[in-house]
Structure 1
Amino acid sequence: MKQNIQFIGNTMLSIISSTVIVLPFMIFLNWGSSHTVIAILPFVIFYTFRTTGIFFIRGIKTELNSYTLLKLAIYCGFLGSIFGLLGVVFPDLELVSGLFLGLSAAWLPMANNTIKRYRVENDIVGSKNIGIIVLFLVLLGIVFMLSDKYSFVLFFSIYGFMYFLSLSALVNIKNYEVKAHDLEGYSYKYLVLFFVLFVLVFLLRSSRLLLNTFQFDYFVYGMFFLVLCVLILMAFSRNRPQRRVPGDLSYMTVLNGALGNYLFLFSSLYAAGYYGHSQLIVKFYLPYVLGIMVAPKVGSLSKGKIKEFALIGMTGGLILLLFTPLFTIGILILSTFKSVFNGWLTDKYVSQNELPRDKRIWVKYTIQSLGSIIHQFILMIIGSLLVFENHSSIKNFFVITSQKIPTVESRALMTNWNGIATGILLIALIIYGLGSTIRLKEK
């Protein structure tokens, strides 16, 4: 009986770890469709904490290890689901739900990845049932097709139930111990970075949803000020963050974060702007989740050359995404090979002996979070410049990217925007490929 409960807990934890970024994002985005302050704040708070929470946990004085952080993330997710359910009746509580689920989304995947490695190294059973995973994913997909009222109630009920069951997955690793040298000290630099990025991301997301051009202006000024400060620090300081991580690994981690932002945030925005919000499930959600599910099987076909296999696959997926009729197939391929590449990248960080053992994957998530945030900042600047080129306004840009039904104008913007966004990532992948070839020849 005890093993069955742990088996179910492992399955639930696996589902949550794979979906905690995308599903609450979509449910809170639906909640904020009325574009009022009360409606959009839960989404903005969720998204902001989700993208910056890693800097907060590494910037405060704490002795949390991956096991205690995973447990805390599960509790946060459970509380977030409860407050989300209560928020259907008392809307103000959705803000609290967004906060807790945002922290869970920031901490749970990276802590769970560390614990999964611990399970493998210590032969601790952590099996899961693929059939149950498919069942719950289909069930959650159906939930999003219902009317908003039923969708909110069922989503938070199911997600809260999943969080509750996932606690049983931690029973057989409660003796997880970390030696002092396998932890790391806190750094106020991360805390400062958390506050700065929190404000910038908050301004960016809220300005678009509230159609507020003044907030967007503050975001632009703040972003350029941040870039200036970073350049000055790089010029005069040798004590740079993550200096123990090899340069090529840092580059690929930043690119991994940018690809994640492109795949999840920009692609969903593109699908909504070109096909309409009603097509998000079919055009984006299903291929995105299916790609994550089949990635382990696809990765096993690499014959030992996982990195090269993943890079070729991601390049192919990006090329397909340049052609609108092939968008869904491109999402599926990019999601699959991005997941394969992410697994390889995690393995590389686990083997970085210069980093504290318990925090190696934390470092990976920190760097890729920076890549994701920088990428979304760049994309929003590009999008606004495209609108200016057509002699339109920032407010019109917000309207175009927020409407539920696509128009000729929104499709034209998304097509041009997608060409530039995809082109940037293709160039970044080619640069890395050329660099790797040159290094091999030098050896």
Structure 2
Amino acid sequence: MIYKKSHTALLIISNTITIIPYLYFLSLSKEQSLSAALAFALFYTFRMTGVFFLQTLTALFAPSLLAASVLIGGAGALVGILSTWWSAALLPAASLLGISASWLPPADLMVRQKVKLTEQPLKNDWKEALFFLFVLLFALRLPDDLQGIGLFGSYFALFVLAAKSSQTFNNLPKRPLMQRNQLFNKQFLLYFFFFLLLFGLRAARLIKSNALFEWAITGFLFLFALLLITLTKRSRSWKQPLHLNVLTFIRGVIGNFLFLFGSVYVTGRLGAQALSTHVYLPYALGLFGAMFLGGKLAHRLEKQLVPTYLLGLMAGVLLFSSDTLIPISLFVISFFNAGLNQWLTKQYSTAKPDAIEQQSLAKYATQSKGSLVHQFLLMTLLFVILRFEHQPLAFLFQLSGTTATNQTSRIQSFLVPAKWGSIAGVLCLLVGGLVVFRRNRKEK
């Protein structure tokens, strides 16, 4: 079986592949070259929308999906190594790693749940995990000319080790990876439109195209309105209870608020040099804190666990209102959001063995929808503020390179209302989630 030997390499990959390559491709995109900008846009778009493609399938086999994710990720890392000498290889590397980042975490979750049902042990060597994590973080700190080969080489070694130590390619079922009844069903169209809109939005910001940015925002608002109009009808076919869908959606929104808006705001107010101390470090500490303390918190609070998570998230979002408290705010948000994810994973893992694949996909897809909706609404809010302040759209494109010392007044007029609008919107969503959860508890 898959986890007979060691799960450590897969643990590190599934918990870092959505973040560390993101930071690397983001740093490359600041070079202002077209290939670097498109590489980041491709990685991010495939990472965020790949799970929607999996939902178009009528049958999905977890071991085969995990093997495919490892194979695609390993190929992406290998091509990424070649990009050090051949820049054109950066685009396929970004695409392959983006697909792997989208598929591997849910595939790993599916297989771990199946392994638990068969009572086979999961082995994680935490010392080995910390070593691998240190290697990846060290690769990010290498000089620019060595960073790519260091990072891609580390991931390639991890993918090879994951395939070997976890026996990923052993005992695969003799049936296809995935099956589809029809080519163009509703989920595929949703995936296709989200892919185009998100790629357009990201590419527009990187290549500084006003027309493409406005097209992406307009297209999203149209799609968002259509989804809202049909929400009542679609909710009747939901396989998950309302409170579970709402809380999963909220987790996606919070994750995007923490990482995307947190990065934009900190960069604009304090400069890009503050990202490590004000965003990335609090984010990582919150994740590790939840990993080690989440079980104890769940044991002590029990029935009050979810309300505590939501109230903790509210407190963290409120702390974001003070610039001096931003690191504490993002640590608190990261901690409680990771704790909420642990609780959600347990809720989805109660599925029957034959429903594990679709349950896991539902969780990741709903989270992605929350993240995408927040991202587009945030960009729409920033767009409206720019128009209200009579600022050119180019100011939004240049924000990532702005510091708090050279354009303070413009940043104040732009980011302060965006901050309060974001805080108000997220707080309303959290209050709504708490109300829905308490109502579900009363009905029981």
**Distance of aligned partners of 1:105 and 1:282 in 2 relative to their CA distance in 1, 3 Å threshold:** same
Contact 1:183–1:356, Cα closer than 8 Å, also in 2? no
Partners of 1:336 and 1:431 in 2: CA distance: 20
Superposed CA offset, 1:244-281 (max 9, x none) = 22122111111111112112222222233233223322
Which runs of structure 2 are paired with 1:425-440 in the superposition (5 Å)?
Answer: 425-438=426-439, 440=441
- Paired letter, 2:112: K
Partners of 2:3 and 2:214 in 1: CA distance: 54
Partners of 1:324 and 1:274 in 2: CA distance: 8
Partners of 2:22 and 2:51 in 1: CA distance: 17
Contact 1:50–1:102, Cα closer than 8 Å, also in 2? yes
2:281 is equivalent to residue 282 of structure 1: no
Out of 182, 201, 206, the position equivalent to 1:204 is: 201
Partners of 2:17 and 2:10 in 1: CA distance: 10
- Paired letter, 2:241: P
**Distance of aligned partners of 1:132 and 1:278 in 2 relative to their CA distance in 1, 3 Å threshold:** farther
- Paired letter, 1:48: T
- Paired letter, 2:131: L
2:353 is equivalent to residue 357 of structure 1: no
- Paired letter, 2:411: S
Unaligned runs of 5+ in 1: none
Superposed CA offset, 1:115-172 (max 9, x none) = 1222222222222122222233233223323332221221111111111111134328
2:245 is equivalent to residue 250 of structure 1: yes
Out of 42, 53, 58, the position equivalent to 2:55 is: 58
Larger mean Cα displacement after TM superposition, 389-398 or 375-384: 389-398
Larger mean Cα displacement after TM superposition, 102-111 or 35-44: 35-44
Out of 189, 195, 207, the position equivalent to 2:186 is: 189
- In structure 2, the residue matched to 1:69 is 65
- Paired letter, 1:434: V
- Paired letter, 2:296: L
Say what the alpha-carbon RMSD is for the aligned residues: 2.9
Contact 1:277–1:405, Cα closer than 8 Å, also in 2? no
Partners of 2:4 and 2:403 in 1: CA distance: 42
- Paired letter, 1:362: L
Partners of 1:144 and 1:405 in 2: CA distance: 25
Superposed CA offset, 1:227-260 (max 9, x none) = 343355457xx46685222122111111111112
How far 1:53 moved relative to its partner?
A: 0.5
- In structure 2, the residue matched to 1:396 is 395
- In structure 2, the residue matched to 1:309 is 308
- In structure 2, the residue matched to 1:115 is 111
Partners of 1:221 and 1:90 in 2: CA distance: 37
2:135 is equivalent to residue 136 of structure 1: no
Larger mean Cα displacement after TM superposition, 159-168 or 343-352: 343-352
**Distance of aligned partners of 1:411 and 1:13 in 2 relative to their CA distance in 1, 3 Å threshold:** farther
Superposed CA offset, 1:326-367 (max 9, x none) = 211222221121111111112112224598233211111111
- Paired letter, 2:203: S
- Paired letter, 2:29: G
Partners of 2:168 and 2:26 in 1: CA distance: 37
2:386 is equivalent to residue 387 of structure 1: yes
- In structure 2, the residue matched to 1:47 is 44
Q: Which runs of 4+ in 1 moved over 6 A?
A: 176-180, 182-187
Contact 2:114–2:353, Cα closer than 8 Å, also in 1? no
- Paired letter, 1:245: Q
**Distance of aligned partners of 1:73 and 1:412 in 2 relative to their CA distance in 1, 3 Å threshold:** farther
Superposed CA offset, 1:174-218 (max 9, x none) = 4476999x9996771111111101110011101111111010111
Contact 1:60–1:188, Cα closer than 8 Å, also in 2? no
- In structure 2, the residue matched to 1:154 is 150
SS at structure 1 position matched to 2:213: helix
- Paired letter, 1:49: F
Superposed CA offset, 1:50-90 (max 9, x none) = 111011122256x4312111111111111111111111111
SS at structure 1 position matched to 2:134: helix
**Distance of aligned partners of 1:185 and 1:291 in 2 relative to their CA distance in 1, 3 Å threshold:** farther
**Distance of aligned partners of 1:206 and 1:184 in 2 relative to their CA distance in 1, 3 Å threshold:** closer
How far 1:5 moved relative to its partner?
A: 9.9
Contact 2:77–2:152, Cα closer than 8 Å, also in 1? yes
- In structure 1, the residue matched to 2:321 is 322
SS at structure 2 position matched to 1:383: helix
Contact 2:57–2:180, Cα closer than 8 Å, also in 1? no
**Distance of aligned partners of 1:343 and 1:278 in 2 relative to their CA distance in 1, 3 Å threshold:** same
Contact 2:42–2:199, Cα closer than 8 Å, also in 1? yes
Contact 2:250–2:433, Cα closer than 8 Å, also in 1? no
Partners of 1:279 and 1:144 in 2: CA distance: 16
**Distance of aligned partners of 1:376 and 1:6 in 2 relative to their CA distance in 1, 3 Å threshold:** same
2:30 is equivalent to residue 28 of structure 1: no
- Paired letter, 1:426: L
- Paired letter, 1:287: P
How far 1:401 moved relative to its partner?
A: 3.5
- In structure 2, the residue matched to 1:271 is 266
Partners of 2:251 and 2:387 in 1: CA distance: 30
**Distance of aligned partners of 1:419 and 1:239 in 2 relative to their CA distance in 1, 3 Å threshold:** closer
SS at structure 1 position matched to 2:85: coil
How far 1:435 moved relative to its partner?
A: 3.7
- In structure 2, the residue matched to 1:87 is 83
Partners of 2:309 and 2:175 in 1: CA distance: 35
Report sequence identity in percent.
27
SS at structure 1 position matched to 2:166: helix
